[in-house]
Every structure is written in C-alpha cells, then in structure tokens.
Amino acid sequence: MPGDFDGTTSDSASHSTTRNASADHGGDVGGTVADAGFDWTRFDGVLFDLDGVITPTAEIHERAWGELFADYDYTEADYLAYIDGKPRYDGVRSFLSSRDVVLAEGSPDDPPGTDTVCAMGNRKNEIFNEILERDGIAPYPGSQTTLDLLEAAGIPAAIVSSSKNARTVLHASGLEDRFDVVVDGVVAVDEGVIGKPEPDMYLLGAERLGTDPARTVVVEDAVSGVAAGAAGGFALVIGVDRGAGADTLRSHGADLVVDDLAELLAERSSS
C-alpha cells in the first residue's frame, strides 16, 4: 500500500537487512520457510498481533467496517489499505480521507453514530461486538498449535493489538489464559503509547514480557504491524499473509512470510 507510511518502506527494508546480517540465532532468515530452517526455540519470546494472526477476527472487523461504511462503496481493498492494523479512530479517519470526507473529531464518549469520527468508531465497535456475541470466534488451528508448542517449550508469548476489544476476543476464543502479557488499544491509551506503524506498542510488549527485542519475534498480518516490528529492532518479523500480499508485507519489513503459522510447524517437524 504505497504512501501509507511516509518513509517507512525504505527505512524498514534497510533495517531488515541489518537485522538479518547481525542476528545470532543461526540460519539465514530469508523469504521462505525453507531458507529459515525455522525453530521457535531459538528465541526468548514471541509477540503476536491478534486479529488475523491468532484468530480470524479480521473477518468480523471487516464485516463491521463494511456495515459502518456501506454508504461509501466500501470494499475489502479499503480495509487492507486504510484500516487494517490501525487504532479504530485512525481507521475511520484514514478511510474517510480516502473519500475526501472530513468529520469533526468528536469525543470518545460520543454515542455510536455517524456525526463524528469518534461516533463512527464507537458504532463500528458496537457492530463488532454484536457479531462476536452472535457468532463467536475460534483460533486458527495452526496458531493454536503454535501456542501449544511455545507453552511446552517455556517460551513466553504476548498479544500486541491495536484493538480495544482484544481481551473480549481472547475470552470468546478461550485463549485469555494463554498469554503472559496483553498490550491492546486500552493499554495504549492509558499509557500514552503511539500505535502501529510506530514500534512503541511492540517495545512495550517486550518490556512487559521481560525479553530483549533483539531476541524476540513479532508475528503480524497487517502492513502497519510488520512496519512496527521492523522499526523496533526485533530479531525476526514474521508476516502472515491473510490478504495484504507477501511482497507488500516484505516491502514493509517482514523477514519471513507465510500464509499460515502451520507452515512453520510443518517445516520444524521435517527439519
């Protein structure tokens, strides 16, 4: 998605090259699983995005956004280009800007509606929770197995998500007890932490997990998320391609791209 991050693409690519050359974990961290000879136990901790990485909540988010923006000829491409991975109000603002629509900012206390940026964000959240309560959510099988592997190996894991619904989703998916740390949109607001594509949320996640970023993995499906991981000096940024495109994820900082985390499990069992 060219133009989304001023200067991020080139900076991330340069940073990625430096990180790959200096990593002391062994193996060549390239663009394929085979190149990486991947082994989770080479790292001290793993920071996961939630929506689209652990659970298919991106699908619910997209449905909610689609309903919110039904009057604006909204498409899936809009979600990936303007919304995916961003805090809710930033997503509203970004999408409306793409349609040359300017609304008053309003307040986070605004009732759900369409009159302000915050009102629209609150309405989207309302729609999301209605869908989640009605339909439920289950983790991706490959992600569930990856969490099992990490737990068995004693490798701590954290959720780093822009969503303020992260804990609700974890509860609905039965995963609320599987993560040592959760840094979500609520924490970001409370702590005054800048959201993705800046690295601050991931750096806070590593700090709370007690791991050095240089020995910690970031797993992301959003362009803004891989850019954040690349900017943070992390050992490895894994992009999970749920629609953003492998080349796009790599160009924004992903060292390794897979369609599903199950691919890494398969590689580990065969290596």
Whether residue 148 is found in the same domain as residue 28: yes
**What CATH number is attached to the domain comprising 88?**
1.10.150
Whether residue 51 is found in the same domain as residue 62: no
- The three-state DSSP-derived secondary structure of the chain is CCCCCCCHHHHHHHHHHHHHHHCCCCCCCCCCHHHHCCCHHHCCEEEECCECCCECHHHHHHHHHHHHCHHHCCCHHHHHHHHCCCCHHHHHHHHHHHCCCCCECCCCCCCCCCCEHHHHHHHHHHHHHHHHHHHCCCCCHHHHHHHHHHHHHCCCEEEECCCCCHHHHHHHHCCCCCCCEEECHHHHHHHCCCCCCCCHHHHHHHHHHCCCHHHEEEEECCHHHHHHHHHCCCCEEEEECCCCCHHHHHHCCCCEEECCCHHHHHHHHHC
Kindly report whether the global pTM for this prediction surpasses the value 0.85. Answer: no
- Residues 224-261 pLDDT 10s: 999 999 999 999 999 999 989 999 999 999 999 999 99
- Residues 34-43 pLDDT 10s: 344 579 999 9
For residue 190, what are the domain limits? 8-56+138-270
Chain-wide mean pLDDT for the chain? 86
Give the confidence band of 110 by pLDDT, cuts at 50, 70, 90. very high
pLDDT exceeds cutoff 70 at 19? no
Whether residue 51 is found in the same domain as residue 84: no
Whether residue 130 is found in the same domain as residue 151: no
Whether residue 35 is found in the same domain as residue 142: yes
How many residues can be counted in the chain?
A: 271
- Residues 59-76 pLDDT 10s: 898 899 999 999 999 998
Catalytic residues: 49, 51
Place of tokens 């109000």: 89
Q: In the chain, how many domains are there? A: 2
| Domain endpoint, select from 116, 135, 154 | 135
